[in-house]
Amino acid sequence: MSNYTSYRNLPELAGICSMAEAMKPGLSVEQCVTRLKRYHYTFKRLHQIFTARITAEPVYELKSGFSLHAHLCAEHVSALRKRVGEMREPPLGLEEVPDPNLEIFFDEILGAPTTEDLVAGLYEKALPALRAALERHIADTNPLTDYPSVRLCRFALMEVDDMIKFGAQAAASLVDPKCRERIGSWLGLLEDCLAAAGGLTGTQTPSGNKIDRRYSAKPYEYDRLPRRDERFPDPYNMGVNAEVFLYDEKFPPQPKTLMMFYKRLREIDVPEMMSSIITETSNKPWDYYRDMTRQLWDEARHAMMGEVGFVNLGIDWRKVMINFTWSLALNTQLKPIERHAVLYFIEQGLMPRNGKRFEWEVGRASHNPLSALFQDYDWADEVLHAKIGRDWYLKEFDDPRTAVQYGDKCWSRILMGWAKWREEGLTQHRNWWPDVYRDACRHWGIEPDPAVLAYSTSYENVRADLKAISASA
């Protein structure tokens, strides 16, 4: 058939590959499924690690990066589950561990004691091994017969490459030569795990070596205390009530954009809190984890919108006291379902007129195009979050009213130690507003409005839904 040609030299085989490539033996369905399950397991464990390590990781850029990477991994888990389901009848065995040495590999990274170990383990060992496995799949399989898997691998590779790129830059800044020396033998242990598993694909001859656990010798314990880096110098500060200012009609829209940027940036506490719900809730259908992680990522994105808003105005956001009191309180005082209840209660309260629509209108009226754009998408994302709440929280209750009341009740139960934190010297609840407003006025080239400058309502007595404490969504 060497003289075989397509009609008028049109691309043959839908442009997928050459005739010769389509004749290669490739992988059987059984071999293909076996490999796909190993990539699935890898993405699932990566999702778990990225999610679980958001809360206690102090560095804001890593919290954001982990939030995105958890979301990306969750999406690829979903795609691979679907593909395995197309090729095999249930039970699909997707919850099984494909190789005990792979389990040790990911347990070790999950239990990494420092940020440096974690970053090196994730981005220098796990993700590059996954990249090699996906590339290997494309090289080994028949591109025509296994086209749907090839497509998944190609899409996954794009995002795996993005993650590796992020990680390489993070490691270059965080892992210094001395640290490298310290973690070298542990990174070697990770390689030993992969060798004992026959590589991530499982196609190499297993080394036969027995692996001794190091960081995972003791079972992993999720750390639910939020931590922040030094750019968050006053994390208990609840001295400026953004919502009271925002909903007060006597204040003009322009300074309100600052309060909205503050509210957005403060939302980094939502991934810190949702990480705890996702990590501490087991045995849900996979779609639960995928949807919740999508929301977690959206909330990290909202925080970054706030960051961009401040940078755009030339304001040093370190002067804005971005607290963690909400994630701290929810993570330490409530059970996972109760935290979800509070989240749902807050989010459904954002749907009527005085919620996200109002914020968008303020953004538009302020003539700050970025504020309007951010609030436009923030609102759209919130509609999705309300749906995620209906799909996964509301279903736990017989009627929606009981579900909302339960959320209100759980939120009211939370003790915000406003006075206690001050007595203990954790914060003075300093009113940072006048400094930040003055900086913005300088940027705008206007004189501060004395009424706006004098604003000094804290969260001592008023909750962010104007009932009485601070909320994020």
Q: CB of residue 388 vs Fe ion: minimum separation in angstroms?
A: 9
Question: Using omega within 30 degrees of 0 as the cis cutoff, is the peptide bond preceding 235 cis?
Answer: no
Q: Measured from the CB atom, is 311 or 383 closer to Fe ion?
A: 383
**Least distance in angstroms from the C-beta of 212 to Fe ion:** 44
Looking at beta carbons only, is 155 or 288 nearer to Fe ion?
288
Pick between residue 258 and residue 350 the one whose CB is nearest to Fe ion.
350
> Is 320:406 a contact under the CB 8 Å cutoff?
no
473 contacts Fe ion (rule: CB under 5 A): yes
Nearer to Fe ion, 192 or 267 (CB): 267
Nearer of residues 199 and 271 to Fe ion, judged by Cβ: 271
CB 416 → Fe ion: shortest distance, Å?
20
For 442, the token pair is 């300088």
Q: Is 146 in the site for Fe ion (CB under 5 A)?
A: no
| Closest distance to Fe ion from the beta carbon of 23 (Å) | 51
Which residue lies nearer to Fe ion by CB, 45 or 385? 385
Rounded to whole angstroms, the Cα distance separating 124 from 128 reads 6
Select the span of 13-21, 37-45, 298-306, 453-461 touching Fe ion (CB under 5 A).
298-306
CB of 389 to Fe ion, least distance (A): 9
Closer to Fe ion by Cβ: residue 43 or 66: 66
For residue 21, give Cα distances in angstroms to 3, 4, 35, 227. Answer: 16, 14, 21, 53
Read off the amino acid at residue 300. A
| Sign for the pseudo-dihedral over CA of 247, 465, 321, 238 | positive
Residues 265-284 that bind Fe ion (CB under 5 A): 267
Confirm if 42 and 202 have CB atoms less than 8 A apart: no
Minimum distance between the CB of residue 401 and Fe ion, rounded to whole angstroms? 21
200 vs 346 by CB, closer to Fe ion: 346
Structure tokens at 402: 């009981």
Q: Nearer to Fe ion by C-beta: 200 or 350?
A: 350
385 forms part of the interface with Fe ion (CB under 5 A): yes
339 touching Fe ion, by CB under 5 A: no
Q: Which stretch binds Fe ion (CB under 5 A): 16-24, 153-161, 299-307, 390-398?
A: 299-307
Q: How many C-beta atoms surround the C-beta of residue 173 within 10 A?
A: 10
Residue at token pair 């560095």 = 59
CB-based contacts of 176, cutoff 8 Å, min separation 6: none
Q: Kindly indicate which of the ranges 67-75, 92-100, 413-421, 465-473 contains the residues binding Fe ion, using the contact rule CB under 5 A.
A: 465-473
Least Cβ distance, residue 191 to Fe ion (angstroms): 40
Contact 202, 194 (CB under 8 A): no
Which of the ranges 191-199, 252-260, 284-292, 384-392 carries the binding residues for Fe ion, by CB under 5 A?
384-392
Nearer to Fe ion, 125 or 302 (CB): 302
Considering only residues 208-267, where is the footprint of Fe ion by CB under 5 A? 267
d(CA 324, CA 271): 11
CB of 266 to Fe ion, least distance (A): 10
List the end-to-end C-alpha distance of the chain, in Å, as a whole number. 63
Tell me the site size for Fe ion, rule CB under 5 A.
5
Please tell me the distance from the alpha carbon of residue 257 to that of residue 363, in angstroms, as a whole number: 6
What minimum distance in Å lies between the beta carbon of 326 and Fe ion?
A: 12
All residues at 6 or more sequence positions from 455 whose CB lies less than 8 Å from its CB, including other chains: 240, 245, 251, 433, 434, 437
Angle between helices 369-392 and 253-266 (to 10 degrees): 40
Contacts of 84 (CB under 8 A, 6+ apart): 33, 36, 37, 40, 92, 94
Q: Which is nearer to Fe ion, 32 or 350 (CB)?
A: 350
Q: Which of 81, 83, 290, 302 binds Fe ion (CB under 5 A)?
A: 302
Question: Apex CA 327: angle with CA 241 and CA 355, to 5°?
Answer: 50
Q: With respect to Fe ion, which residue has the nearer C-beta, 116 or 269?
A: 269
What are the angstrom distances between the C-alpha of 147 and each of 16, 30, 35?
8, 15, 15
Task: Give CA angle at 281 (280, 282), nearest 5°.
Answer: 115
At closest approach, how far in Å is the CB of 443 from Fe ion? 25
CB of 153 to Fe ion, least distance (A): 32
Q: Does 299 bind Fe ion (CB under 5 A)?
A: yes
Based on the shown chain and the rule CB under 5 A, indicate whether residue 296 belongs to the binding site for Fe ion: no
Spatial CA neighbour of 86 closest among 139, 25, 151, 137: 151
In the complex, the smallest distance separating the C-beta of residue 100 from Fe ion, rounded to whole angstroms, is: 39
Torsion angle defined by CA atoms of residues 154, 159, 165 and 167, in that order, rounded to the nearest 10 degrees = -130
The binding site for Fe ion (CB under 5 A) comprises: 267, 299, 302, 385, 473
